[in-house]
Structure 1
Amino acid sequence: MGKKSARINKIYAMQLATIFIGFVLFGFSENIKGPAIPRIQFEFMLEESQLGTLLSLNALGYLIACSFTAYLTRVWGLQKVTIAAFAAMIASGVLIFYSHSFSVFTGSYFLMYIGNGMLEIALAILGARIFVKNAGMMMNLVHGFYGLSSVVAPLAATGLMNVTVNGYALDWRGMYLAMLSLSIVPILFALFSKFPGDATKQEERVPLKLLVRDPVLWLMVLILTFGVVSELAVGGWLVNFLEKAYGWDTVRASGLLSGFFVCFAAARLLLGAATDKWGFAISLIGFSAFSAICTFGAILGGESYAFLFAASGIGIAMVYPTVMAFLAKRYPNGSDVAITFTVTLMGIGSVIGNYLIGWIIEGVKNVYKADAQIALLRGLQAGYGFIGLCAALCAITGILLFLYLRKRGEVI
């Protein structure tokens, strides 16, 4: 009995190592591009439109990976899919290193984001299967490691690009190769582990056609979409808002954005246990409402309340991992399908949401076009107000979810 227990603990430790290191590497691969992009643009002499196309591969690769990862999980098993995701990242690092034409580099970059998309789905499914107890705390904790690595990634990338090995400067190609090659570590842990659920028979799994009849799943799609739009839009629009609305310099504005990410990572690391204590539905309502209040307070309060932009990260950080924990609890035999379905629709919705922000800014600017400065300020306020509105809609949808579940005695 003791040997069996020790063996189970060893397997669980390897599963934990796979998921925690996986999220760290996921954060690295997503966020090392910042310092590398200017060098890539200079070397390939890219126009802004070409650079935009390159970066759009992020969303495209992510959505494509979402479309087939759940299917591969059912056919190959989660262990093989997880290893394949890490292997794709290593292969992309090698191809990026040897890419000397823009077309080859574009294909290599696209492969990296296919691997990223597969990895995010695979790690979410793994978390759903192994975090049976304290799911909310553990989901937020592992996603907190993604947040920490996201903070460290640009600094690590900058440092590596300046390293010289045997007279050869790593630059951006060597940096990508070095960072992505670290994926070999979780591959080794995954190889010597067993992933729960891989032995589950197909007939025991809940089919998608049955899941989509559940109104709860569609409410979760809305909650996740509103939450992720509000989360991701901050990275794209906060610095722009502070520089143009308040005249801040780039260093000061970037510092506040860093403050947002610090609050974001700290919340996931420290507040995950609260989601288990309060319940997932109540947590989604409370945290997203807090984010909305902070965002609107920062906009309406003016420059002196700008710190609330950073504080909003505390609330919005909790939405994604809490939704993953909810899906794991509600659909124990169909978590892979439920997660893939929800995340795929969220990806489409988040693309639309970020386009809407730009349209709102331009539309409001046209209303106040008689005064260019006022037009710019009102446009930026309206655009950023949409970010707060998404957080508020996340809370409102959470209320609808809670009422629906309470009526049926199914509150999680």
Structure 2
Amino acid sequence: MANLLLKNALILTMDQALTTVQRGYLQIRGDRIAALGEGEPPFSEEGYQVLDCSGKIVIPGMINTHNHLPMILFRSLGDDVADRLKRYLFPLENESLDAPMVRAGADYAFAELLFGGVTTCYDAYYFEDEVAQAAEACGIRAVLAETILEGPSPSAKEPYGEWAYTKWFVEKWKGHPRITPSVNCHAPYSNDTEHLVAAHDLARREGLLMSMHVAEMAYEHTGCVERYGLSPVAYLDSIGILDEHFLAAHSILMDEADLDIYQRRGVKVSYNAGSNAKSAKGVAKIRQMLDRGIPVSLGTDGAMSGNTIDIVTQLSLVGKIQKLFNGDRTLFPAREILQLATIGGARALGMEGEIGSLEVGKKADIAIFETDSVNMSPLYDPYSVIVYSANPGNVESTIVDGELVMHRRQLRSMDFGAVKARLLAYQEQIRQTAAELDRALAEG
């Protein structure tokens, strides 16, 4: 591992004071930030790989807190299908997926994340050991979980077969320096109470994050009310699984009582602005959540839901959707949105002591934006440029754990041409399966 020195950089630290360094240096020794400050570094540059960051913006690596990464195999399928999850996605996954295909999708998804300056992600899918192996190989930081689902799934053909897989997966990957296992149940409507409680017990015994889709679907809400006389949030609270180590994805259909529960239990939220808008499910009340002290982070959902999995694409959506939804253009200044993508993501994953801001002693997870492209000038407010002007193609370099894994738009930790070829080798097979589903849908 070469020590790195970033010089002449505009640094957005995203620390508690939102310190901005106008033209400074950032010293990386091993996997940690050793020093940063204004002007020239007050030490010898000998022994460092020096990156001249003149005209560049340096920020903490972005964090995507809700993904189904290998779903990238199905991107652009079923975009306008009603009840897409049950009528299209579940059948497509069950009829197509196997372990090698999941590995191909995971490799490609990690490439997209690294190209977009995402250095940490949360993922829940099937054959998750394949995802973990891909994460280990490419150098990204990841919190990963096998999805526990009532009934058969691609990786477990018997009901709740993922339960044994989850326990094995946790034991295999716990203690890894970059990969953290997690426990994930799909949703309240796709798991029974017994398995929800057992999953929570496992997560607490092992000191792991538990995550789930919550308050996302209208039928989820109706079903919970009919079965338990409670909202999904109140039901989960009644069985004792909501706490400060619970990450709730989406959380759209929430009333004041539900917000009270999240606040009281310390629940964390992954807000998926793009996929929620595309699916017309609604807008999460993240202003009210943040005002209550509920930690909020940003996710993308799978690439069949939101099409892109980078976080840069989400930033402007967060601002525009929330301003429109609340009827107030002053809400969510760009600095606050970038906080959600960095230190907010770290808090959601319980990693704020290690990542999410550029501070001495923290892990060296960094994204570097160029400002030479036509969309990046003029640069008056760097936060606004990142949030409203930038696209993932403006990320020039990505550093994870002190390693330069993507530099000058070239991946160093994988052969992108080979990764893309492996993904596209499945395209015709998936196309044929999708065509059969399309015919079934057309026939009603």
TM-score, scaled to structure 1? 0.22
TM-score, scaled to structure 2? 0.21
